[in-house]
Amino acid sequence: MMDDENSGGKIKKFLYLNRKAPYGSIYALESLEVVLIGAAFDQDVSLAFVDDGVYQLVKGQSTDGIGMKNFSPTYRALEMYDVEKLYVDQASLEARGLTEADLLVPVEVLDSAQMAALMAEQEVVFSF
């Protein structure tokens, strides 16, 4: 209903480019809020995690020590919103000593050329 009203039936390729660590700034949390609201619009949605953004998906996050809300379980719920295309930049993972096994959701790991190709094919890129 919402997308009939606001999108005129158009479906575009949306990419959410997540470049910031989950805590220490609010970008990651507010980006996730856009993804969740955006899910109601039935667009073709992809999420990419690059640079410190890969930390958003690391397993076993605990925020007790910093008194902030741990919002990492929400990434596991994305599937229920039909947000299923999650991509992680290989070089960013490796630079931080991480592997795919350290992540809390299934992702597709892309090299730099593949990541560039993914970005090139998008119609709307939100960079957070």
Partner 1 sequence: MKFGILINEGPYTHQASDSAYQFTKAALEKGHEIFRVFFYHDGVNNGTRLTVPPQDDRNVVTRWSELAKQYQLDLVLCVAAAQRRGLLDENEAKRNGKDAHNIAEGFRISGLGQLIEAGIQADRLVVFGD
Residue 4, amino acid: D
Q: Should residue 41 be labelled a site residue for partner 1 when binding is judged by CB under 8 A?
A: yes
Q: Which is nearer to partner 1, 47 or 107 (CB)?
A: 47
Q: Return the closest-CA partner of residue 13 out of 114, 128, 123, 118.
A: 123
Q: Should residue 81 be labelled a site residue for partner 1 when binding is judged by CB under 8 A?
A: no
**Tokens describing residue 117:** 């190709």
How many residues form the binding site for partner 1 (CB under 8 A)? 22
Q: Which of 21, 43, 85, 119 binds partner 1 (CB under 8 A)?
A: 43
Q: Which of 18, 22, 23, 27 binds partner 1 (CB under 8 A)?
A: 27
Q: Which is nearer to partner 1, 59 or 68 (CB)?
A: 68
Q: Which residues bind partner 1 (CB under 8 A)?
A: 2, 6-8, 10, 12, 14, 26-27, 30, 33-34, 37-38, 40-41, 43, 124-128
